[in-house]
């Protein structure tokens, strides 16, 4: 088996958990630590990908290009990746990011919509980038559908396709099935991105490895949307115990997670009621803070909003439905 490739996405998925407030200095500091620890790929962008600074997704405090410049300036032998969501980003942003010096573009779509990604894979390749296809909300589709979608991405030029458990809704068996089916269907790398809503971020990541995944994601201390991700330092510790070589220095990760990342947490990252409800109902993790805000404003239980979003099959990028649901629930309460 070729060496397992770990991507740390603290500076992208973690952006959701701090309401997109990372500064260029902070990004530079974290990237230097991850580089020193020998993490091969480091993802940096707004949580919703390039150009994600919007009313819908939350405005960034700092200019995203400055964050990426700061990451690139400190990257040394590691690669810098950015997330890209078609519709939120357009091709000009891919060109700008490539010109700044990112190495990898991770192109994310709802897991049934791979055929909108062709023009972006082509642009990324033209701009000299490695490419990853990100099949979001993979729990909603069976392995066979995901494999078809992944094959489309492979045909557009993807170097790897990820099963992305955006809602933290998968259990290990579901992860194994999906990863194994992609391995069987593709000739490129297969990856897995976990969320921890059911307490399975590390367990599911290991299940993915056992099913043949070549690439996996983590974030320092688990800092990420909703219930957070597989903590990179915990993942590396587990992999060391399993004698799976990553070349990553555990001590530097542990110190960075403890001393630099823990202090920026804005709320405790635990599997509380809202996060468990999201994982159980299969609702996109990035909705969490928007749900809490709407629930507070209209004085309703966040879980009722989460459950209704699950019933409506909301996909990534549908934060506007939160307000719609909240107003509707508030009106129902008044009627009662």
Partner 1 sequence: MEKIKVAILGSGNIGTDLMYKLLKTEGSMELALMAGIDPESEGLKRANELQIPITAEGIHGILEHDDIKIVFDATSAKAHITHALLLKEAGIVAIDLTPAAVGPYVVPAINLKDHLELDNVNMISCSGQATTPLVYAVNRVAPVKYSEIIATISSVSVGPGTRQNLDEFTLTTANACQEIGGAKSARAIPVINSAEPPIMMNNTVYAVLEENADEKAVIESIEQIVQEVQKYVPGYRLKRAPYIDIRHTPWGDLPTVIILNEVEGAGDFFPTYAGNLDIMTAAAVQVGEQFAAHILKKKGVIV
Instruction: Using the minimum distance from each CB to partner 1, give the nearer residue, 112 or 304.
Output: 112
Instruction: Using the minimum distance from each CB to partner 1, give the nearer residue, 53 or 256.
Output: 53
Site string for partner 1, 61-100 (x = CB under 8 A): -------------------------xxx-xx---------
23 is a contact residue toward partner 1 (CB under 8 A) = no
User: Of the candidates 115, 173, 184, 272, which one interacts with partner 1 according to CB under 8 A?
Assistant: 115
Q: Per the annotation, does 193 bind a ligand?
A: yes
Q: Count of CB atoms within 10 A of residue 109's CB? A: 26
Nearby residues of 178 by Cβ (< 8 Å), 6 or more positions away: 138, 143, 146, 163, 170
User: Of the candidates 29, 69, 103, 113, which one interacts with partner 1 according to CB under 8 A?
Assistant: 113
**Residue 46 annotated among the catalytic residues of the structure:** no
Q: Per the annotation, does 166 bind a ligand?
A: yes
Site string for partner 1, 116-155 (x = CB under 8 A): x-xx------------------------------------
**DSSP H or E run through 207:** helix 201-210
Q: Per the annotation, does 217 bind a ligand?
A: no
Q: Which of 16, 46, 110, 139 is catalytic?
A: 16
Alpha-carbon span 301 to 329, nearest angstrom: 9
Alpha-carbon span 169 to 189, nearest angstrom: 23
Give the C-alpha distances (Å, rounded to integers) separating 38 from 32, 62, 197, 235, 236: 10, 27, 28, 14, 12
- Supply angle C-alpha 78, 82, 87, rounded to 5: 165
* Rg of the chain taking only CA atoms, in angstroms: 19
Instruction: Using the minimum distance from each CB to partner 1, give the nearer residue, 29 or 324.
Output: 324
- Going by C-alpha positions, the residue among 54, 47, 38, 48 that lies closest to residue 6 is 38
Question: Which of the residues are catalytic?
Answer: 16
Which residues of the shown chain bind partner 1 in the complex (CB under 8 A)? 53-56, 59, 86-88, 90-91, 110, 112-113, 115-116, 118-119, 312-315, 317-318, 320-321, 323-324, 327-328
Binding-site residues sit at 12-13, 166, 193, 195, 284
């Amino acid at each position: 088996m070729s060496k397992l490739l770990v991507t740390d996405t603290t500076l992208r998925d973690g952006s959701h958990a701090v309401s997109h407030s990372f500064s260029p200095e902070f990004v530079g500091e974290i990237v230097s630590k991850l580089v020193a620890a020998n993490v091969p790929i480091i993802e940096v962008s707004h949580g919703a990908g390039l150009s994600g600074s919007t009313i819908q997704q939350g405005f960034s405090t700092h200019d995203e290009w400055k964050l990426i410049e700061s990451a690139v300036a400190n990257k040394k032998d590691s690669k810098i990746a950015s997330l890209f969501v078609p519709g939120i980003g357009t091709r000009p942003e891919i060109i700008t990011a490539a010109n700044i010096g990112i190495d990898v573009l991770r192109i994310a779509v709802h897991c049934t919509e791979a055929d909108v990604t062709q023009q972006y894979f082509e642009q990324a390749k033209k701009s000299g980038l490695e490419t990853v296809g990100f099949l979001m909300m993979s729990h909603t589709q069976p392995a066979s559908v995901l494999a078809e979608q992944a094959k489309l991405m492979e045909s557009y030029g993807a170097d790897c396709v990820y099963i992305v458990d955006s809602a933290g809704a998968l259990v290990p068996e579901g992860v194994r099935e999906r990863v194994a089916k992609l391995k069987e269907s593709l000739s490129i790398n297969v990856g897995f991105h976990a969320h921890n809503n059911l307490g399975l971020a590390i367990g599911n990541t290991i299940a993915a490895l056992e099913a043949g995944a070549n690439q996996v994601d983590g974030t320092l201390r688990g800092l990420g949307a909703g219930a957070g991700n597989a903590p990179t330092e915990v993942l590396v510790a587990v992999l060391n115990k399993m004698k799976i070589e990553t070349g990553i220095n555990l001590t530097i990760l542990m110190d960075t997670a403890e001393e630099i990342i823990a202090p920026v947490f804005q709320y405790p990252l635990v599997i509380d009621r809202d996060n468990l409800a999201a994982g159980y109902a299969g609702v996109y993790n990035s909705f969490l803070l928007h749900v809490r805000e709407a629930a507070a404003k209209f004085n309703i239980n966040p879980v009722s909003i989460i459950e209704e979003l699950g019933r409506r099959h909301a996909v990534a990028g549908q934060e506007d439905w939160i307000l719609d649901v909240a107003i509707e629930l508030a009106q129902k309460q008044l009627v009662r």
